[in-house]
Structure 1
Amino acid sequence: MAGRLVIGDVRVQEVVRGDGRRTYTIVLPGGEVHRAADGFLRTREGGTDRAYAYLLVDHLRWLEFEGLTPETVTLRDLQRYMGALGAEYAGPFGRPWRTGKRPYGQSSLETTAAALKGFYLCQGMRGVNQELAEEFKRDRLPTKADRRRAFLGHTLTTMPANPLTPAKTVRLRHPKLLPEGTRQRLIEARSAARDRLAVTWLADGGFRVGELCGLHLVDLHLREDVACGECRTPHVHICHRENNPNRARVKTKRPWNIQDGVVRGGTVRRASPAMVHTYFEYMTTEYPRGVEHGMLLVQLHGSHRGQPWATAGVRKMLRLAGISLELGRVRPHAFRHEFATDVLDASGGNSLIARDAGGWASATMVEQIYGHVDIHDPAFVTALTTVWGEQA
């Protein structure tokens, strides 16, 4: 590292490659690239490099604040740093390291632990702070979940461990649902076929907003028995791309390819009749001619007409529509919560069906967020009313 950092001046720099891909690095106050961080970030996949870059910037600022460097920091120092990031930190100040910011939750702490481990292992391979790197080369016994995920899991004897990973805490999270009738009121209020498509696809497909804005026309197989052979009914292939001009990214990076002009792979999501209807309405009435980027959602007005519609545009449309209809702030992800809740109700609480329908990584995640009893469920309310009535 060249010289000492100035807290707050070290920053993340986006780099646009010739093929349209966006990668991320860390730049020092004088404009020089932080070589150690850059060398590590180059080994990360698209999307992961961005998250790790911002986490490392925060860590480098903390090192400077503590008078440390990547060459002198110890495992005990890193454990103090993880404690300072977390909500349960019982340090002398009783607040997280990032003043004015919310403390990291469980998921963010786990991601930070993975980023720091990768960074210091990469440093150790270059002969820097090898003692710390050895601390990260620990093993642990495999869990049942490890064995289920692994091929020939019954042969597992050890798994890599991370001493910075916080203890796993199982916390039931309640999804933030939309007011009753939100979808229908939004569809009736929006005059643009594109906006009606966005609302319908978010509600019926359970899309994340990045998945919706990242769709290309070739990803849509909205007729029966399409040549991909992966689903007989109308469906959509959700494919992770690094070079989307609107910078929309798909969270799940499942492999995909195009063979003979047909998309195969990715995450396959079935399409409802309403989704197919809004698609053809939008394409035949509003989709501009001569569009070359091939993306589904485009801007309809102004100097940028025909350019891909970004996730910020979808969020703004829903926010303004929610305010005008007195629905409060409507967020795209709330439709995904509604979708998962409805699928669980219709399937009798089958979390595997909900996982595959919405493209979640695991059924456990579905159970933690949606699988517990809804306090608004009629049966739940009836039971409580009975108890209260007897007590009265």
Structure 2
Amino acid sequence: MTLRAKLDAETGLYRVVDDIAGPLEEINAFLDAIHTRELSLLTVRAYAFDLAAVYRWLEVCGKRLESLTQADLLDFIAHERRRKAQPASINRRLTALRSLFEFWKPEGMAAGVGRNLPSPFYRGPGRDRNLGLYALKKRRTLKLKVKTPRKLVTPLTPRQVNTYLSGLKRYRDIAIVHLMLFCGLRSREALGLKTGDVCLLERRVKVWGKGGKERAVPLSRVVAESIELYAKHERPHSCEGDALFVCLHGKRRGRAMTPAGLRSIFRIKRKRSKVSNANPHRFRHTFGTDMARSGVTLPVLQKLMGHQSPEQTLQYINMSMSDIAQAYIEASAKIRKIYDLD
């Protein structure tokens, strides 16, 4: 079985197809259902690729979807770990697998022999709370998942940012990086901008984030100027569609830039500037860190970055080691003065 997820040119929907047997209707019917719920195309795409990975595993182990048990999920986790998949990717595929299973079998997945689920938090007998009695709610069964390590992403330094920016020659590339660095846009959000989304007069941009959620982000003077220079001097007058950022050369001149094209640009510029960790997400992370260091409050930063919950923003702006070291040095200096050690 050679499975792949691809975009159907006729319907504009993602489909999972076997090169020999044809479309897998078991998955595609589920994809149609989540599309009907008006989930974003990128969400449908993620489900398609994850479920394709799940069905490759089913083929390897000789199992069928309807016969799976919760114990089989451990085999899937072991399979994915052998493939060196990241914990977050494994957990996302487990979620996709459960959703597909419950789509076809609403009664849920049987336990099976060898099931291993996380233990619920023990809360005691549930009595004598403030000298009263109360009944505990029924304990919720936790979903099986892989422990995800907490990673600390270090933002770019001012020197790295200046080095990278000095190597950019096109106004288009400068404008894209400025939107990530000074407005916190994701790469997909920058590529998804339309000409009508940018208002240079009012210095604001309308951004369509994850799940099709809309937010308005202010434009600083430097960002507005870089967009204006690109629109005036580089963007072709005759473009296919109203995408703001388009290809400037070759057969695709005037067509919207693709994520693959943007990755290629960053890969080339990283090599030339020798700033090896410069990527779209790192510039966005640098924006979040710079805003937090400048005293921007959590609710404001959450809105600027398009996060659904404040917890996401808190994880995003974890202090780097340089922040911790600087705070330690300043505190140590004050402590030494207390004990007259200087």
User: How high is the TM-score relative to the length of structure 1?
Assistant: 0.69
> Conserved in 2, the CA contact under 8 Å of 1:221 and 1:235?
yes
User: What is the rounded CA distance, in whole Å, between the counterparts of 1:75 and 1:108 in structure 2?
Assistant: 18
- Distance in 2, Cα, partners of 1:310 & 1:194: 14
Q: 1:39 to 1:134 in 2, by over 3 A?
A: farther
Contact 2:179–2:185 (Cα < 8 Å) also in 1: yes
Deviation at 1:167, TM superposition (A): 7.2
Identical columns (%): 23
Write the letter of the residue equivalent to 1:190.
L
Q: 1:320 to 1:62 in 2, by over 3 A?
A: closer
Q: CA RMSD in A?
A: 3.2
What do residues 246-279 of structure 1 show as CA deviations (whole Å, max 9, x unaligned)?
A: xxxx43422xxxxxxxxxxx12111111111111
Partners of 1:197 and 1:366 lie apart in 2 by 24
For 1:90, the equivalent position in structure 2 comes to none
Which position in structure 1 is the counterpart of 2:17?
Answer: 27
State the alpha-carbon separation in 1 of the partners of residues 69 and 90 from structure 2.
18
Q: Is the 8 A contact 1:120 1:133 kept in 2?
A: no
Task: Map residues 1-392 of structure 1 onto 2, 5 A cutoff.
Answer: 6=1, 9-18=2-11, 21=12, 23-44=13-34, 45=39, 46-85=41-80, 96-98=81-83, 102-105=84-87, 107-124=88-105, 132=109, 164-166=143-145, 172-224=150-202, 234-239=203-208, 250-254=209-213, 266-347=214-295, 350-371=297-318, 373-377=319-323, 378-383=326-331
Aligned length: 309
Q: 1:26 to 1:313 in 2, by over 3 A?
A: closer
Amino acid at match of 2:104: Q
Residue 43 of structure 1: how far off its partner (Å): 1.3
1:4-50 deviations in whole A, cap 9, x for unaligned? xx3xx2332321235xx3x2222234242222111111112322222
1:117-143 Cα offsets, whole Å, 9 max, x none, are: 211111125xxxx563799xxxxx9xx
8 A Cα contact 2:247 2:257, kept in partner: yes
Could you say which residue in structure 2 is the equivalent of 1:246?
Answer: none
Inter-partner Cα distance in structure 2 for 1:321 and 1:308: 20
Q: Deviations over 1:40-61 (max 9, x none)?
A: 1111232222212222222222
As a proportion of its length, which structure holds more helix? 2
In 1: Cα distance, 2:245 partner to 2:183 partner: 15
Unaligned segments of structure 1, at least 5 residues:
1-5, 86-95, 136-140, 142-156, 225-233, 240-249, 255-265
Q: How far is the alpha carbon of 1:294 from its aligned partner?
A: 0.9
What one-letter code is carried by the residue in structure 2 that aligns with 1:358?
Answer: M
Do 2:66 and 2:101's aligned partners in 1 also have CA atoms closer than 8 Å?
no
Normalised by the length of structure 2, the TM-score is: 0.79
Q: Deviations over 1:169-199 (max 9, x none)?
A: 6x54312322432333343332321122122
Change (3 A) 1:64 1:273: same
SS in 1 for 2:16: strand
- Distance in 2 separating the partners of 1:201 and 1:253: 19
Query: Aligned with 2:158: secondary structure?
Result: coil
Which consecutive unaligned segments of at least 5 residues does structure 2 have? 113-119, 121-135
1:158, distance to aligned residue in structure 2 (A): 8.5
